[in-house]
Structure 1
Amino acid sequence: MLLLLCSLSCVQIDQPDFGILLQKEQEQKLYAQILREQLTYLNRLGILLGGDPQKVQQHASWFISFTSRLFQFLRPLEQQQAQDKLFHVVTIKDLQKMAPAIDWLSCLQATFMPMSLSPTQTLVVHDLDYLRNMSQLVEEELLTSRDMIQSYMILGLVDTLSPALDSKFRKARRELRQKLWELKERPPLPASPRWMKCVESTGDFFEPTLAAMFVREVFGPSIQSAAMELFAEIKDAVIIRLKKLSWISEETLKEALNKLTKLQVEMGAPKQAWNPELAKEEYSDIQLGPTFLQSFLSCVRSLQIRKVQHFLHPFSYHRWTGSPWGVNAYYSVPDHVVVFPAGLLQPPFFHPGYPRAVNFGAVGSIMAHELLRIFYQLLLPGGCPGCDTHVLQEALLCLENHYTALSLSNMAPLNGSHTLLENSGDIGGLAIAFQAYSKKIAEHSGEMTLPNQDLNPYQLFFQSYAQVMCRELNSQDPQGSYSPPNLRVHGPLSNTPDFAKHFHCPRGTLLNPSAHCKLW
């Protein structure tokens, strides 16, 4: 089960995730193969733990059977919504009566230490029926199969801790993942080098310290100054763009400009990452050694305690949701701050020595996109009551139809309404970045180009944008609010007349349609 702090006064209990083991919607033959691989893996864990092979086989089979029975208690999300039973608000005392097999107060207290809990603590339970049925099944099995339940919990714990155990356990887990991957006819999983695992673990547990080391190495004053200068130019272009919108009202424009004035921007790393004393305080309870497992468990426990403490005592500043070495910029609505991590402000995305066309086309378009997120609310129904809704809705419908048509030409049907906001951000971001770049080279002549490429500066700008957005679509990519990568390239470029002009695209072709949408 997933346990979350959902507010200052409640704890949220979500459904368990049984993973690939019990995805029964797949064909029966594939499902049987998955179960066999899982059973082989559990047997392997039992043997590595020193168990008797015959008993291990018995306990591993019971593990699969018991998990299957638990899985039967889960109800699809749609069914819960139809029955108006998506969430239930209860106290720990109430839950103890409904599902008595678990000592809920002790378990929750241990999970959310040092948070103080009592029997009257409010819980938000995602699937109360599952917890009732689970409790009943556990109580029944405790009467006849207590040793099996103990093995079930031990095997589950060892599986969870396998990344921190002996190399034999890690190898067993890795081979299971590889076989399950192959059963689903996917390309082989690349093996992660040991150094990458070390860096990932260090980043998980000691991010402030690693962040400070990273930005000192790659985000010096010259890079920071150049990035801030680029952001200021993009922000100025956004202001000019807002003032020219045909659908925005005078009052809404005034509010929008006021929002931009109050916006905070953070680049490189969080401010607290530069404070070594803060790191010492956060890590003071970690005990390293004598084994890697003991160090790992101490780090996990310390990290969990810090998360709870941060929840109980909110920060007076914005808490980054990503790592400084990441490449994903974002806008935080609650804190009204836009974040550009140091990882994004590196080659091949950005460098002070690059031609301006490269920096504006890549990072400049991303910066503009993030600034436009501030105004997404205006595009929602009723979000801009004083605006010319007729003009706005026409532009939005044009955009939706534009992407739907593009997806059909790319043999990948897409509902343009689901990705409308991010599509508008992509198109607007590219247009604003191009506007800022055009102003820059008009004021400063002598633009550089790249050697061995027959591209003028404007062409280089658009190529830089396309290279940032273009990548292979991974089958594991979530179907969220973004269009597929090819449409994130073709959508904005085909809606930018300047692209067609500088690349001499014939009118009426895919990247130069006869009509363009004008939203931002």
Structure 2
Amino acid sequence: MKKLLIGAALGALLLPASVAVAQVGGEDHGHACIDEGCTVFELFQTPAEGATVLGYQGTEAPKYGTWGFNLDGRDTSVRPGDSFMRYANGAALDRLQIPSDRTSYGSFNLLRELSDNRVKVMIDALVARTDLLPGSDEQKIADAYRSYMDEGRLEALDAQPLQPYLAAIRAAETHDAMAAYMGQTQGRVGASLFGTGISIDQKAPTRYVVSTGQSGIGLPNRDYYLEARWAEKKALYQLYVARMLEMIGWADPVENAAAIVAFETRIAEAHWTPIQNRNRDETYNEYTIAQLASEAPGFAWQGYYDAVGVGEVPRLIVRQDTAMPRMAAIYAETPMDVIQAWQAFHTVDDAAPRLSRRFVDAQWEFRSRDLNGQPMQRPRDKRGISFAEGMLGEAVGRQYVAEYFPAESKAKMEELVSNLRIALANRIRNYTWMSAETQAAAQEKLEKFTVKIGYPNKWRDYSALEVRPDDLFGNTERAGQFQWKYQLNRLNQPVDKDEWGMTPQTVNAYYNSANNEIVFPAAILQPPFFDPNGDAAVNYGGIGGVIGHEIGHGFDDQGSKSDGDGVLRNWWTPADKANFEALTARLGAQYDQFEPLPGFPVQGGLTMGENIGDAAGVAVGLEAYHLSLNGQPAPVLDGVTGDQRFFFGWAQVWQSKYREDALRNQIATDPHSPAEFRVIGPVRNSDAWYDAFDVQPGDKYYLAPEDRVRIW
């Protein structure tokens, strides 16, 4: 359950790595290490029956063929138009095994493990040193990791760290008292019906604003409570709730678990759908606290905001405004013993990873195994790395950049970005569905894009964060409070344009609409996305497609609602807006037809923004590749043309496998389409793909020219 709303309308290539429950499509590296001279990892060997499968174990970037793509990874028995994923990646996918501690695996996961392995080497070296300056970032990183790895102390403490919280929950005997308690959980262990945070004001992006939205449920989203296809998961959740209540000695755990799930089901009925939550026009609603209290009675809003620390703000943004009155009424109608049990459960569920092993295992068994099909828990040292990074991410990132990000990579990325921008500018000038007036506004927005590559210009100051080597639970609470105070202090400050929403060691990229910026952390600038020594066509298909994807977010169905200064406003003529919406509707209808698993079709409305980003990535990336040739013919390498290599580069970054439960979860919750359709969805709308691979009528994914959707 998220209590903190962060940022303003980020469009990411993938969800942050921390969101493991709903991992995104297309994260695979099936071709790594097949060539001579590259270490062979256990991941790419066929395991014995029941054997543990490991992931990427090295600290060196993987190698793909001699020029950036592994031709041996293809399955040429398949026609490209019947399954371009199989044609480009089939043999590699056949070799790929999902590691036992993962729910999916691919390019993004592999590079994430590469990043983790490098950070592990760095942290191990820090832990071994005896000369670290007390209070330094290096000492804090080492102590954060030590606290996580001190299992003996955690076993001795068991549930003891929770006792003050459980006592406070029992003492909150009225609805108003519990509303205030929910506010006190901001940045601390516990739960709230509503998530509150500090974000950039989308209509005035030079300032920050308080935002509040729906929360309060423990399953991934409302569908898990309301749809019959999730009934089994809901039943397992109720058993998990009862188990956790019993483990903390809460009275009548079975009866209370049933009451909690019934309460959350009513809350889920009030929640907006995932597709509704994407609409930036509908999720920007200005309120005062008094107005919210008047329109959504039954919840002590002023007491809640006072406890959060923002009780004096003159205005706030309410995301799901029509859900608030219903949720407040449900809260007021629910007996306090149920509300207290609900808070107790979510407190232990939130705290479980920082408690003794019985709590850790119970949570993993439900949230990773039962919900997502993960056979084995991640080793504790890997979890310890994630914990230390979560506390001191930019301090870790500063050392990562010094050791693993060469300056020439940044320079080459800047050249790629420049070509992508030129390519999109050329395309905008030639759009027949857009008037000159809207074209000019689009060009102005493109010119104002800010590009961030590798790492921030200034690093986060962690001097006020206290970290102890023997206090895992306390470290987490202090880190949460440190982060929340940082957010609160922004309210009276101008927007920090230098701030990053991801650390350099994160394998991802994003677009921030309020800053009109695209951001590419250092860790994604490696094969198969980007190889400074690789073929240009493959690089343009890989990282070029990623750049185009993030630029495309600035012009997708939601990003296009902000102008070049990040202001949420309509800069379209009515006719052009209608043309654009007609194109996006056609694209959405294509994705609605994709069905990765029976009964689980892709939701074109939920994935619309990412699908538009992917379409832009392919279209603009290919044009930028052609520009990079400077009028010269593309070379042919091993019989593969330049355009073919471009499309292979795009397909290669989405090599992926999923466990079925994880794939179902993704389809239900994730705004990214599954990997197979991140490959085929964009390319089947590209005329050049048909020419490059002789795709003909009768092929499964053939589209007649008039049915191909060309947006950006």
2:466 is the counterpart of 1:286 = yes
The answer as to whether partners of 2:212 and 2:317 remain within 8 angstroms in 1 is yes
In structure 2, give the amino acid aligned to 1:427: A
Output the CA distance in 1 between the equivalents of 2:627 and 2:236. Answer: 61
How big is the shift at 1:464? Answer: 0.8
2:438 is the counterpart of 1:252 = yes
Output the CA distance in 2 between the equivalents of 1:396 and 1:150. Answer: 46
Q: What does residue 452 of structure 2 align with?
A: 266
Count of matched residue positions in the alignment of Structure 1 and Structure 2: 478
Pick closer, same or farther for the CA change 1:202–1:312 going to 2, 3 Å: farther
Q: What does residue 626 of structure 2 align with?
A: 438
Q: What does residue 67 of structure 1 align with?
A: 260
Pick closer, same or farther for the CA change 1:407–1:179 going to 2, 3 Å: closer
Q: What does residue 347 of structure 2 align with?
A: 157
Pick closer, same or farther for the CA change 1:159–1:263 going to 2, 3 Å: closer
Output the CA distance in 1 between the equivalents of 2:590 and 2:325. Answer: 45
What is the Cα-based RMSD across aligned positions, in Å? Answer: 4.5
How big is the shift at 1:343? Answer: 2.4
Output the CA distance in 1 between the equivalents of 2:471 and 2:435. Answer: 64
Please show how residues 307-386 of structure 1 align to structure 2 within 5 Å.
307-376=487-556, 384-385=572-573
The answer as to whether partners of 2:545 and 2:650 remain within 8 angstroms in 1 is yes
Q: What does residue 617 of structure 2 align with?
A: 429
Pick closer, same or farther for the CA change 1:339–1:62 going to 2, 3 Å: same
Output the CA distance in 1 between the equivalents of 2:382 and 2:327. Answer: 39
The answer as to whether partners of 1:495 and 1:512 remain within 8 angstroms in 2 is no
Q: What does residue 486 of structure 1 align with?
A: 676
Pick closer, same or farther for the CA change 1:287–1:258 going to 2, 3 Å: same
How big is the shift at 1:414? Answer: 5.9
SS in 1 for 2:402: helix
Pick closer, same or farther for the CA change 1:249–1:166 going to 2, 3 Å: same
In structure 2, give the amino acid aligned to 1:334: A
The answer as to whether partners of 2:457 and 2:498 remain within 8 angstroms in 1 is no
The answer as to whether partners of 1:362 and 1:468 remain within 8 angstroms in 2 is yes
Output the CA distance in 1 between the equivalents of 2:209 and 2:428. Answer: 41
Pick closer, same or farther for the CA change 1:316–1:354 going to 2, 3 Å: same
Pick closer, same or farther for the CA change 1:238–1:149 going to 2, 3 Å: closer
Output the CA distance in 1 between the equivalents of 2:364 and 2:515. Answer: 40
Output the CA distance in 1 between the equivalents of 2:358 and 2:554. Answer: 50
Pick closer, same or farther for the CA change 1:215–1:447 going to 2, 3 Å: farther
Stretches of structure 2 that go unaligned for 5 or more consecutive residues are 1-192, 202-207, 277-283, 562-569
Please show how residues 99-138 of structure 1 align to structure 2 within 5 Å.
108-112=305-309, 115=310, 117=312, 126-128=323-325, 130-131=327-328, 134=331
2:664 is the counterpart of 1:461 = no
When Rg is computed on C-alpha atoms for both structures, the one with the higher figure is 1
Q: What does residue 44 of structure 1 align with?
A: 247
407-416 or 341-350: which moved more?
A: 407-416
- Point out the structure with the larger helix share: 1
Output the CA distance in 1 between the equivalents of 2:652 and 2:400. Answer: 25
Q: What does residue 217 of structure 1 align with?
A: 403
In the superposition, the TM-score normalised over structure 1's length comes to 0.75
**Structure with the larger RCO, 1 or 2 (CA within 8 Å, 6+ apart):** 2
The answer as to whether partners of 2:509 and 2:520 remain within 8 angstroms in 1 is yes
SS in 2 for 1:323: coil
How big is the shift at 1:476? Answer: 1.7
Pick closer, same or farther for the CA change 1:302–1:37 going to 2, 3 Å: closer
Pick closer, same or farther for the CA change 1:470–1:289 going to 2, 3 Å: closer
Output the CA distance in 1 between the equivalents of 2:239 and 2:380. Answer: 29
Output the CA distance in 2 between the equivalents of 1:396 and 1:170. Answer: 44
SS in 1 for 2:653: helix
Pick closer, same or farther for the CA change 1:424–1:18 going to 2, 3 Å: closer
Pick closer, same or farther for the CA change 1:331–1:62 going to 2, 3 Å: same
Paired residue for 1:35, among 238, 260, 272? 238
Q: What does residue 145 of structure 1 align with?
A: none
Paired residue for 1:4, among 180, 185, 196? 196
How big is the shift at 1:254? Answer: 3.1
473-482 or 440-449: which moved more?
A: 440-449
Pick closer, same or farther for the CA change 1:91–1:356 going to 2, 3 Å: same
Pick closer, same or farther for the CA change 1:109–1:429 going to 2, 3 Å: same
Paired residue for 1:17, among 185, 192, 217? 217
Output the CA distance in 2 between the equivalents of 1:31 and 1:418. Answer: 22
Q: What does residue 91 of structure 1 align with?
A: 290
In structure 1, give the amino acid aligned to 2:485: I
2:360 is the counterpart of 1:170 = yes
Pick closer, same or farther for the CA change 1:416–1:307 going to 2, 3 Å: closer
In the superposition, the TM-score normalised over structure 2's length comes to 0.57
In structure 1, give the amino acid aligned to 2:433: W
Output the CA distance in 2 between the equivalents of 1:408 and 1:36. Answer: 31
In structure 1, give the amino acid aligned to 2:615: I
The answer as to whether partners of 2:217 and 2:267 remain within 8 angstroms in 1 is no
The answer as to whether partners of 1:469 and 1:485 remain within 8 angstroms in 2 is yes
The answer as to whether partners of 1:263 and 1:338 remain within 8 angstroms in 2 is yes
How big is the shift at 1:362? Answer: 0.8
2:270 is the counterpart of 1:77 = yes
Q: What does residue 420 of structure 2 align with?
A: 234
Output the CA distance in 1 between the equivalents of 2:339 and 2:424. Answer: 61
How big is the shift at 1:356? Answer: 0.9
How big is the shift at 1:16? Answer: 1.7
How big is the shift at 1:327? Answer: 3.4
The answer as to whether partners of 1:508 and 1:514 remain within 8 angstroms in 2 is no
Pick closer, same or farther for the CA change 1:123–1:132 going to 2, 3 Å: farther
How big is the shift at 1:135? Answer: 5.1
The answer as to whether partners of 1:494 and 1:510 remain within 8 angstroms in 2 is no
Output the CA distance in 2 between the equivalents of 1:418 and 1:323. Answer: 27
How big is the shift at 1:238? Answer: 1.6
Output the CA distance in 2 between the equivalents of 1:329 and 1:391. Answer: 29
SS in 1 for 2:451: strand
Seq. identity, %: 20
Pick closer, same or farther for the CA change 1:246–1:194 going to 2, 3 Å: same
Pick closer, same or farther for the CA change 1:64–1:89 going to 2, 3 Å: farther
Pick closer, same or farther for the CA change 1:349–1:149 going to 2, 3 Å: closer
473-482 or 216-225: which moved more?
A: 473-482
Output the CA distance in 1 between the equivalents of 2:292 and 2:591. Answer: 53
2:391 is the counterpart of 1:191 = no
Output the CA distance in 1 between the equivalents of 2:209 and 2:356. Answer: 40
How big is the shift at 1:227? Answer: 0.8
SS in 2 for 1:477: helix
